[in-house]
Amino acid sequence: MDKNMSEHTLVHGGQLTEIALRYNIPLEKWLDLSTGIAPTSYPVGLIPAMCWQRLPQHSDALLKAAQDYYQTPNLLATAGSQSIIQALPQLCISQCFADARVWLPAVGYQEHRKAWQNAHYQTLDYQDTPDIRLIKQGDIVLVINPNNPSGKLHTRQQLTELLLTISAKKGLLIIDEAFMDATPEHTMTPLLACNRDSSDNNINQDALIILRSVGKFFGLAGIRLGFVVAHDYWLKPIADVLGPWSVSGPAQYVGRQALTDRCWQQEQTTVLNRLSSALEGVLVQVFTRPIHGTTLFKTVITAQAPAIFEALCKQGIYIRLCDEKNALRFGIPNEQGLKQLESVLLSQPIQRLL
């Protein structure tokens, strides 16, 4: 894959309208498994008219809900993770990281790479886990945890050790936790729960930024809501860049409800674990290779990935052909979708490709 993303348009999942036109199959006949968004969504219900009629104000209720959910007071609401991914390189220039090298996972969400390269940073790749021996003074290290699409999950202990190294070298660790909600025991957000001046283990807490997304686990990608977890050294300039009204009134209203509904969150975790296990069971039947991923998606590495992607699209099943063109990522289907997927995967057209 071409590592210079600055002049390339990235292809993402979720482009169902375009795919439906390409294969001449009506939208309503598709099984869309191209994203890592939960197939079951938080029930939004009726949104008060004032959320649509008024400019969105700062919401103490949303902030409190997020602080409780993410176990830290040090956060800022954003219009999803993508806006911050695009803003961080320029912010880092203004915060004395203009000459930094940026370490990125070789396989991962490529909007990160594109943003840093567009800002003319030198980017370096690592495989699976950053090598602390290679990190130099002032380096920026990005970790996607768990990784999308590989599913690689770093423990809190592993990332704390990495942060110690980066902090000692006056660098910056950015962790994209967009898919963390189903494995909260591994989140790093509690590390930023205390005052920045009371940090243990010689960690400079200004050396850590965490990105969280509401869209994936809650099945609410359309409301565009996320959070940046960091201390004021980063939150104040980020807020200045985002400006007023960056998070819509409806997003604030729904987000507060979703983040405080513990019963629904527990039910969602149970449902996703069951559906995820069922999907893995189907994929194991079909592919004679390890299945990677998270509770929200499963990834299979196969040389036949482009041909299988094409064959599934012709049957009205849209999955994600990964950027490297050597892997397929399957979003988690509901029960009906799982039966449809299993039937097509076990059919002769697909079996001939394996």
User: In this structure, are 201 and 283 located in the same domain?
Assistant: no
Evaluate whether residue 211 is within a structural domain: yes
Looking at the fold, whether 169 and 290 belong to one and the same domain comes out as: no
Is 3 part of a structural domain of the chain? no
**Model confidence at 198: pLDDT above 80:** no
In a domain, 6, yes or no: no
Instruction: Confirm whether 306 is domain-assigned.
Output: yes
pLDDT score at 199: 52
pLDDT-wise least confident of 7-11, 143-147, 155-159? 7-11
Q: Are residues 217 and 330 in the same domain?
A: no
Total domains in the chain come to 2
For residue 144, what pLDDT is reported? 98
Q: Looking at residue 203, what is its pLDDT?
A: 77
Q: What is the pLDDT of residues 236-291, one digit of tens each?
A: 999 999 999 999 999 999 999 999 999 999 999 999 999 999 999 999 999 988 99
Average pLDDT over residues 199-212: 83
- Say whether both 310 and 204 belong to one domain: no
Bridge pairing between strands 208-213 and 226-229? antiparallel
The CATH number assigned to the domain holding 175 equals 3.40.640.10
In SS3 terms, the chain reads as CCCCCCCCCCCCCCCHHHHHHHHCCCHHHCEECCCCCCCCCCCCCCCCHHHHHCCCCCCHHHHHHHHHHHCCCCEEEECCHHHHHHHHHHHHHHCCCCCCEEEEECCCCCHHHHHHHHCCCEEEEECCCCCHHHCCCCCEEEEECCCCCCCCCCCHHHHHHHHHHHHHCCCEEEEECCCCCCCHHHCCHHHHCCCHHHCCCCCCHHHEEEEEECCCCCCCHHHCCEEEECCHHHHHHHHHHHCCCCCCHHHHHHHHHHHHCHHHHHHHHHHHHHHHHHHHHHHHHHCCCCEEECCCEEEEECCCHHHHHHHHHHCCEECEECCCCCEEEEECCCHHHHHHHHHHHCCHHHHCCC
Where residue 324 sits, what CATH number does that domain have?
Answer: 3.90.1150.10
Q: Does residue 2 fall inside a structural domain?
A: no
CB atoms within 10 A of CB 217: 25
On whether residue 4 sits in a domain, the answer given is no
The answer to whether 162 and 198 have CB atoms below 8 angstroms apart is no
At 316, the pLDDT band (50, 70, 90 cuts) reads very high
pLDDT tens-digit readout, 95-130: 999 999 999 999 999 999 999 999 999 999 999 999
* Per-residue confidence (pLDDT) for residue 27, from 0 to 100: 95
The pLDDT value recorded for residue 151 is 96
- Confidence at 38, pLDDT banded by 50, 70, 90: very high
Give residue-wise pLDDT tens across range 332-344: 999 999 999 999 9
Tally of CB atoms within 10 A around 163: 24
Percent above pLDDT 70 for the chain:
95
Mean pLDDT of 215-229: 97
Is 143:154 a contact under the CB 8 Å cutoff?
A: yes
The whole-angstrom separation of Cα 183 and Cα 187 is: 8
Q: Is residue 226 part of a domain?
A: yes
Inter-residue contact 193 to 74 (CB < 8 Å): yes
Q: Is the pLDDT of residue 4 over 80?
A: no
Nearest CA to 140 out of 80, 199, 91, 193 is that of 91
Q: What is the pLDDT of residue 1?
A: 45
User: Which pair of structure tokens corresponds to residue 305?
Assistant: 């990935």
The boundaries of the domain holding residue 285 are 16-41+263-351
Residue type, 247: V
pLDDT for 196 equals 63
- Whole-number pLDDT of residue 204: 86
pLDDT digits (tens, 9 = 90+) for 265-274: 999 999 999 9
pLDDT attached to residue 263: 98
Mean residue pLDDT across the chain:
94
For 58-102, the pLDDT digits (tens) are: 999 999 999 999 999 999 999 999 999 999 999 999 999 999 999
Q: Is the pLDDT of residue 197 over 90?
A: no
Q: For residues 182 and 277, state if they share a domain.
A: no
